[in-house]
Homo-oligomer: A and B are copies of this chain.
Amino acid sequence: MLAELTPPPAAQARVGLPLQASAGPRLINVAVIGCGYWGPNLIRNFASTQGARLLAVCDLQPERFAKLQQQYPAVEFVSDYEALLARPDLDAVAIATPVSTHFKLAQMALAAGKHVMVEKPMTATVAEAQELVALAAVQQRVLMVDHTFAYTGAVRKIRDLVQTGQLGELLYYDSVRINLGLFQNDVNVLWDLAVHDLAIMDFALGQEPVAVSATGHAHLKGQQEDIAYMTCFFESNLIAHLHLNWLSPVKIRRTIIGGDRQMAVYDDLEPSEKLKVYDRGASLQNGGLEGLRRHKIDYRMGDMHAPHIAPGEALQCNTAHFIECIESGQTPLTDGQAGLRVVRILEAATESMKRRGEPVSLFRA
């Protein structure tokens, strides 16, 4: 096989130094760790990502392999992750295991000189996230968190709307992300669902919250919180709120982003027209002294515009971006710092939730 003829890359490859093989660009050897709910998606994508070669798949429960082995006969299926991470022909790993194990696996992989992509949330604590960021810097390896939504056409368009000033000054970000199941057993609903919104906000809004208040409830005995609400406060006029629920009879994925010029509604369940931009809002009339009177508020009810979002692009984007960053040495759009920022908010929100909404500051000493 081709892969056996190429020299082990981990020995000489460095972030920032594009890899060169004598006969065309060398493939990056990737392993996916974790074959649960999300792992198979990563496996499918890496199997068809330009520049990558899916070397191995690893899981502690080998009974998960059967179906995948049929589909990917050329891939190795292993359970010993320590042996896997010690292989010199392995360049990079993608970790899709339960959150509580992210840190240990990513740490081992970075220590072994591998590039690492971790599923969201990156780690279970801020301290862990900080340690991974530091380790990746020392090892000069790519550390990327798989904030998937940042690679979708809709969220990229939202970032455009913010950055180009089309929405104007941001007033609020409001998201509802609810459905029935799937209960996680090692994290509460914030870590499972709010992480998506926090990743989108981190990517698209260009502002970081300074404090957070959250409330929630665990309805099933012995389980984590299954419903949660969370407000993020910013230094600006922006306020963000997330509604997360594993116990909803209906599935909703709807985000409203209010600006003082335009407002966007992003419904991820819409087959087309996922994003609608409204020329609507309210503003104080010029008129100074009387600005406080009710009838001095102008309401603007203008057109709506739904930019076409090409479907399906996100599927490959994140794995391709990971490979590209390894090859070119560039920093991922969703790097370890992004993963850390999101984990910091989740940790603070969980703390606030235990205290019935008491606000928790996000400023770090």
A residues neighboring B (CB under 8 Å): 71, 73, 171-172, 174, 176, 180-185, 211, 213, 215-217, 219-223, 226-227, 229, 231, 233, 237, 239, 241, 243, 245-251, 256, 258, 260, 263, 265, 269, 271-273, 278-284, 291-294, 297, 299, 301-308, 310, 352, 355-359
Contact = CB atoms under 8 A, between A and B. Distances in A.
Contacts of A263: 247-249
Contacts of A293: 185
Given A222-B291, A359-B358, A303 B303 contact: no
A229 to B, nearest CB: 5
A308 B302 contact: yes
B215 A297 contact: no
Contacts of A220: 282-284, 297
Nearest to A216: B239
A250 B256 contact: yes
A356 B231 CA distance: 9
Contacts of A357: 213, 215, 231, 352, 357-359
A229 B249 contact: no
A256 B249 contact: yes
A216 to B, nearest CB: 7
A180 B262 CA distance: 13
Contacts of A222: 284, 291-292
B229 A217 contact: no
A352 B293 CA distance: 26
A157 to B, nearest CB: 11
B303 A306 contact: yes
A13 B73 CA distance: 33
A183 to B, nearest CB: 5
